[in-house]
Structure 1
Amino acid sequence: MAANDKPRLCRVAGRDTWHIYHQRKRLSTGCTDRASAELVLAKYAFDLSRPQTQAVGISQILDLYLADRRDALKPGAERLAFAHKPLSAWFGEKPVEVVTEPECRSYIRNRLSGGISTSTARTEMQALRAALRWAAKEKLTAEAPHIPLPPRAAPKERWLTRDEAQALIEGCGSHHMRLFVILALGTGARVASLLDLPWSRVDFDGRVIDLRDPAKPRTSKGRARVPINDGLLAALQEARAVRETEWVIEWAGDKIGSIKRGFRAAADRAGLEGVTPHTLRHTAATWMAQAGVPLWEVAGFLGHSNTRMVEDTYAHHSPSHLKAASRVLDMSILQQFPVARVNTDTKKPKESRDAKCPIPCGENDIRD
């Protein structure tokens, strides 16, 4: 900074406060005493000496946030990458200030018109919100704007009957697909948990499958240790006898990366519509609820830390759901207890002066 460009204090006619004079402009310090004004001047000069950083665009923020999640080995980083791709395409290198509620709603409408589900749109907006909050925390932007989220989608009601499940098993065209269906129905586990399951976490002696991967950090999508029922035990023993790899679900001597195509083919052979691999987890939970298994036990079987989601999604399948409350309102019970008649006459009858006094008194007592 040249000497003649350095800011300095000055007086302004008719003003009590000191001013900073810089580049032919005067800025009030708000201070009437010289010592306080010198402090304001020092801060002003320091701010001028700091390197000016270029504004960070939204796409760059998304990249930096994803890199930070990966460096910290945070779970779900790869899912973020899928959500960030359409966000980067829409917002690009625009500044954070363009992220307004109308702009977010335009993005959501555009994505929904493209055929994605409301749940996917909600996930993408949650990813944007998390990235901008992180940017504000890291001082990359002044503040994180409000991000409106689409409403939560209603829980899917599609589940398989016993006959449909048997038809699906019979429709499987390969051994590994049949094992997957039986394993999914017998454990209620998510697809990723089963495809990542090694034989080392299948305890045949204790008849327990440990779906928890010790090499991965715990996430909100919990995994559980589930018992092996008789039907599942037979299928696992058969598969272990011909195994070629360390993975329970394998094909051609290798681990399975995806079962979508094989599952779709099996569902088509069985004549089932609206069925996905996740339907098997939903089916397992529904069957347990219909059999009267306590909801807290269903939640534990599915790997949930509380019963909130299970109550919202499966409680209506339970035969005992709200029955205790319903019995309280049973009119046949209420009729056993007749309601006492209430005198609706609000006029109080006048008492006669000769009315018998409830309190005995003598002849010489004075009455009002």
Structure 2
Amino acid sequence: MARVWIYDRLNTVDYQEAARRAKRKGRKPPARWRVMYYDRAGKLRSEVSPTSTAAKDRRTELEASLKSGTYIDPVDANVSLGEMAEKWLESRHDLKPSTWWKYRGLLDNHVLPRWGELPLPAIQREDIAVWVAKLLKSKDDGGSGLGPSQARHAYRVLAMVLDWCVPARLAVNPARGVKLPVQPEAEHVYLSYQQVELLADAAGSLRTKYDRPTACAAINRALILLLAYTGLRWGEAAALRVGKVDLDKRRIRVSVTFYEVNGVQHEGLPKNGKRRTVSIPAFLVPVLLPLIEDRDPNELVFTTARGQSLRANNWRVREFNAAVEAAELDLAGLTPHKLRHTAASLAIAAGADVKVLQLMLGHADAAMTLNIYGHLFPDRLDEVADVLDTQRSLALAA
């Protein structure tokens, strides 16, 4: 027995009666053609078609999808994007809370207002492309006023939800292939040894308008030097415990980080969920010693004058920015995160290879390290060619 066939309802009593009722009421008669088929579970299903041609096209489509295993139950496909987005987000137990809430915000502010009520089959690639373009438009022009990076993030969340619906509810992801806005290259800011020292000294000498040391003046110098020479992320340094610092071996174990969700500080695994060990230069030993000597291993290395944990925004605005100004560093775009880039640039200049740098910075793989810092590695093409030339000459002369 064929799995898909077309049934003409014209000569059935039920259809003729329905057609007469429709004619009396001045309505269009019901669809004459019915496509009958057994789905993958062996259940008899049917769909109506207005014309013979449409019925034949649907039969061909069903035969192909049932044969290839790509058949999707129309009932399953007709669910809204909003319903699937909520299920998708609920299933993402693998995400850090900060990432989960970031996705929550992108869904609520940009994805669901446009796509939430639409059934999955109604979402088309060209409409997604228009939506991405509108995200970039200014609010005065009816857009969302997002930059290229945020627009890409919003698109990525939509694409992940749609990916999650393939193949059970969608045959393909309509978001794939949409051209995305070009993300401008990040501004590279790398401090020299002298600039790092100026910044650290200025940060350690900060005073309030009442001529008292600022809340973090006592730890600022050590913190800035640590960030600039080890490549720790700011949250990793802020969450560093005394017991994780071994000054005898000059090692720091990076096992946790601070992050904030809705203004509340949390502690979790470092980015990528990977712990690591980093080395510290010898000159940092006497700088860090006063901050860890005779202290409980569970205490934070860096705290405010009142013993509170550091908060990223407060420290950046009140301490770091003030230190940049006091040090008279004329470097546009200088942020605490640029100290991590500085650590990478100084390490490369000191001869660190890409694998060492990857381990130092805690990147997922060396490819990520090269993507970010590849331009800093020296061009050694001539050096390699010269060695090959020398080795060839020695080999042929032997």
Closer, same or farther in 2 for the Cα pair 1:120/1:30, shift >3 Å? closer
Q: Deviations over 1:35-60 (max 9, x none)?
A: x9xx9994349xxxx9x799655555
CA, structure 1 residues 158+250, in 2 after alignment: closer, same or farther (shift >3 Å)? Answer: same
For residues 348 and 135 of structure 2, the distance between their equivalents in structure 1, rounded to whole angstroms, comes to 35
2:231–2:344: 8 Å Cα contact kept in structure 1?
yes
Contact 1:20 1:28 in 2 (8 A): no
TM-score by length of 1: 0.67
CA distance in 2, matches of 1:229, 1:20: 88
Asked if the contact 1:249/1:256 (under 8 Å) is kept, the reply is yes
Q: Give the 3-state SS of the residue equivalent to 2:278 in structure 1.
A: strand
Aligned equivalent of 1:234, options 274, 286, 302: 286
- Structure 2: segments with no counterpart, 5+ residues: 1-5, 19-29, 48-72, 207-216, 258-266, 394-398
1:113-154 CA distances to partner (integer Å, 9 max, x unpaired)? Answer: 876543333223222211232244674x67532153333442
Change (3 A) 1:127 1:317: same
Query: Structure 1 residues 67 and 13, CA, compared in 2 at 3 Å: closer, same or farther?
Result: closer
Tell me which residue corresponds to 1:144: 173
**1:209 is aligned with what amino acid?**
I
Match of 2:353 among 279, 290, 294: 294
More displaced, 21-30 or 250-259?
A: 21-30
Q: 1:231 to 1:124 in 2, by over 3 A?
A: farther
State whether structure 2 residue 129 is matched by structure 1 residue 107: no
**CA shift in 2, pair 1:64/1:42, >3 Å:** closer
Q: How many residues align?
A: 308
Please say if residues 223 and 304 of structure 1, whose CA atoms lie closer than 8 Å, have aligned partners that are also in contact.
no
Distance 1:225 1:294, change over 3 A: same
Q: What secondary structure sits across from 1:250 in the alignment?
A: coil
**What's the TM-score, normalizing by structure 2?**
0.63
Displacement, 1:276?
0.8
Superposed displacement of residue 280, structure 1: 0.5
TM-fit CA distance, 1:10: 8.1
SS of structure 2 residue aligned to 1:154: coil
Contact 1:299 1:310 in 2 (8 A): yes
Structure 2 residue 301 is matched with structure 1 residue 248: yes
The structural deviation recorded for 1:209 is: 1.0
Indicate the residue corresponding to 1:266 in structure 2: 323
2:187 corresponds, among 156, 165, 180, to 156
Contact 2:137 / 2:145 at 8 angstroms: preserved in 1? no
Q: CA RMSD in A?
A: 4.3
2:371 pairs with 1:312: yes
User: In 2, distance between residues paired with 1:12 and 1:54?
Assistant: 27
The structure having more radius of gyration, on CA atoms, is: 1
The CA distance in 2 between the partners of 1:61 and 1:277, in whole Å, is 39
- The counterpart of 2:160, out of the listed 130, 136, 143, is 130
% identity of equivalent residues: 21
Q: Distance in 2 between matches of 1:176 and 1:20?
A: 86
Contact in 2 for aligned 1:289/1:317 (Cα 8 Å): yes
Aligned equivalent of 1:171, options 202, 208, 214: 202
8 Å contact from structure 1 (residues 62, 88) kept in 2: no
Partner residue in 2 for 1:350: none
Which residue in the other structure is 2:342 paired with? 283
After TM superposition, the structure 1 stretch with the greater mean CA deviation from structure 2, 52-61 or 286-295, is 52-61
Q: Tell me the equivalent position of 2:233.
A: 190
Distance 2:13 2:184 in 1: 59
Q: Which residue of 2 aligns with 1:340?
A: none
* Partner-residue secondary structure (3-state), 2:158: helix
Structure 2 SS opposite 1:144: coil
1:74 has 2:95 as partner: yes
Rate the CA distance shift 1:170–1:204 in 2: closer, same or farther, 3 A.
closer
SS of the residue 2:137 aligns to: helix
Q: Match of 1:43, SS?
A: strand
Structure 2 CA distance for partners of 1:288 and 1:201, relative to 1, 3 Å: same
| 2:114 partner letter | F
1:349 is matched with none
